[in-house]
Amino acid sequence: MMERTNTDIDRFLRSEMTVFKGYAACKSPEVVAQRLGIQVADVVKLDANENNYGASPRVARALADFTYFNIYPDAAQTEVRQELEHYTKVPAEQIVLGAGSDQLIELILKLFAAPGDEIINLGPSFPMYSFYAGLGGNKVVEVARDENFYVDIASIRRAVSPKTKLIFLANPNNPTGTMTSFEDVRTLAEIGVPLVVDEAYFEFTGVTAIPLMKTYQNVMVLRTFSKWSGLAGLRVGYGLFPPLVADCLHSIRDPYNVNIMALIALKESLRDIDYLMGNVDKIIQERERLLLRFTEMDWLKPYPSQSNFILCDLLRGDAKQVQQKLEDKGILVRHYADARLKNCIRFSVGKPTESDKLLTALQEIGGQIK
């Protein structure tokens, strides 16, 4: 990031924006490869919960055959929403697409929360809830999860105030992998505050809050194609909303907010579900292998996960230093500096060959930690 210097224009800037802390994005494998003097293909990228098996082969073929990149996509996204209706069993008119589910988080906050209103975040959780709330001038009320990272419903109830406009629940939770039971989600819905259930990893669990939408008009569900279908680079997600909320979101979103390449890739992914879910099964199998191997290392404490990543607490050593040692070996992982996750590392689950490189490196590093 460029260093900020004072100029004549600084007096026109909003002061709260000049001190706003941006999202700490993962490092580029190209930059790391250049630093280490290795090929990009030799970098093992396990830091962003991406799907290292990639997209369906149908996606590349469809994009190669498409020639109308000079034409704007359908602003109503009619065909794609119809396909999503078939996939989710939710009517197309209740489906809204976004440039990743991140964009939908921003739009939901704009729709529900005015500056000064409160949102409840069940931390530690996905940082974009607090990020967009901060940009919108909302107050983030942090309700801590318990020692095993499960939600504390009693504490959530106590945190609700007349200014509370939204509760965000990642399920399973990122970065902990923790699952909130269907009954607990129902209990949260019964509080009556608009509840956003972020199911970014739904395809790894098969558990969804969609059935609650028929009874509770305050329940909204977010999904993404970044994880299970390998489309993280194309940025496409969708949300399932009560009809009135969906209509409002369509009114305030950009007319062409999802690009044509992403729309084509989404359609082709939905037409190749068996292939993609086969990759999901491989990731789940590899996750369980890694959990077992991590458990055997006396300096790591892995937490149970229902997603495509595993969070580990370091019982010895410093997480930042371990992350750097792994990066020096061409292996990218995520470490955390906030108080609740101060000495934790999150490992995305890759292919078996990538896991083998990670495990070998961890064995070497573990032997050096006193």
Q: pLDDT tens string for the chain (370 positions)?
A: 555 566 688 888 888 888 777 777 677 888 988 888 999 899 999 999 999 999 999 999 999 999 999 999 999 999 999 999 999 999 999 999 999 999 999 999 999 999 999 999 999 999 999 999 999 999 999 999 999 999 999 999 999 999 999 999 999 999 999 999 999 999 999 999 999 999 999 999 999 999 999 999 999 999 999 999 999 999 999 999 999 999 999 999 999 999 999 999 999 999 999 999 999 999 999 999 999 999 999 999 999 999 999 999 999 999 999 999 999 999 999 998 788 898 999 999 999 999 999 999 999 999 998 6
d(C-alpha 173, C-alpha 179), whole Å: 6
Contact 366, 294 (CB under 8 A): no
Contact 156, 168 (CB under 8 A): no
* One-letter-per-residue 3-state SS of the chain: CCCCCCCHHHHHCCHHHHCCCCCCCCCCHHHHHHHHCCCHHHCEECCCCCCCCCCCHHHHHHHHHCCCCCCCCCCCCHHHHHHHHHHHCCCHHHEEEECCHHHHHHHHHHHHCCCCCEEEECCCCCCHHHHHHHHCCCEEEECCCCCCCCCCHHHHHHHCCCCEEEEEEECCCCCCCCCCCHHHHHHHHHCCCCEEEECCCHHHCCCCCHHHHHCCCCEEEEEECCCCCCCHHHCCEEEECCHHHHHHHHHHCCCCCCCHHHHHHHHHHHCCHHHHHHHHHHHHHHHHHHHHHHHCCCCEEECCCCCCEEEEEECCCCHHHHHHHHHHCCEECEECCCHHHCCEEEEECCCHHHHHHHHHHHHHHHHHCC
Q: What is the pTM of this model?
A: 0.94
